Amino acid sequence: MNEKEKVLRQIYEIKSHLVDKETFFPYNYNACHVWSTIAVILTLIMIPSYEQGIWLGSAISFVLLAIGFLIEGSLTKKVNQSYDIEACTKRQGFIMKNFLMISLFLLMISAILASEHLYIVIYLSWLFLISLGYFAVGFVLNIRQFSQMAQLNMLTSVLLLLIGYYFDLLRGEDLLFSILIQTMVIFGLALLPSAIAFKLQKEERFTKEACSV
């Protein structure tokens, strides 16, 4: 290898860490599957529970989110311990706070929207804002799949909001439109993230096996 090739390789290695953010990020992608399960449950029970009462709906959503954060926290703690990391890394902290803030806002806005019976707007707010969180994660960790998924979800939610507003369907009285919205939320916040997590887990296993050879 001549000197120029060596220099170019060094630049490539350094760039991949400093610019492309290909950096150390311990994460247990099983947390994504937990969140997907929670997304499905929430999508199916959120509106019936809000119909029973705003406080009940809020309490159920809060409990499910709290379970998600607790499981994610314990999975992250475990994976960090395997690397001798006591507290969370800066990136883990950023992602946790990002989703925590979004969730708190969603809980409040959902209660307000439920009191106005704007159930479709609740679903679309969750789809849009959680995807915004994924968009930030995709950017910070340079995971293109998360960024693309987030953009698709956000565009879908804007489009569905426009259709719902134009045809006066935002109260969820049209069964077909409600089913379409629920399907899109389950697809965007459960199926897609899980599929991406599976792919990333597979890549992680492959890299580990390749490194151990």
Binding residues vs another protein (CB under 8 A): 3-4, 6-11, 13-14, 17-18, 21, 23-24, 26, 82-86, 89-90, 211
Rounded Cα gap, residues 32 and 206, in angstroms: 19
User: 30-52 vs 119-140: helix axis angle to the nearest 10?
Assistant: 160
Q: Between 4 and 168, whose beta carbon lies closer to another protein?
A: 4
Rounded Cα gap, residues 106 and 89, in angstroms: 26
Q: Between 5 and 168, whose beta carbon lies closer to another protein?
A: 5
- Secondary structure element (H or E) that encloses residue 15, with its range: helix 3-18
Rounded Cα gap, residues 35 and 27, in angstroms: 14
Question: b or e along 168-185 (b: 16 or more beta carbons within 10 Å of the residue's beta carbon)?
Answer: ebbebebeebbebbbebb
Q: Between 6 and 199, whose beta carbon lies closer to another protein?
A: 6
Minimum Å gap between C-beta 88 and another protein is: 12
Minimum Å gap between C-beta 37 and another protein is: 29
Put residue 24 in one of left, alpha, beta given phi > 0 → left and psi -120 to 50 → alpha: beta
Q: Between 2 and 166, whose beta carbon lies closer to another protein?
A: 2
Question: How many Cβ atoms sit within 10 Å of the Cβ of residue 194?
Answer: 19
Q: Between 71 and 85, whose beta carbon lies closer to another protein?
A: 85
Minimum Å gap between C-beta 19 and another protein is: 10
Minimum Å gap between C-beta 17 and another protein is: 4
Minimum Å gap between C-beta 86 and another protein is: 8
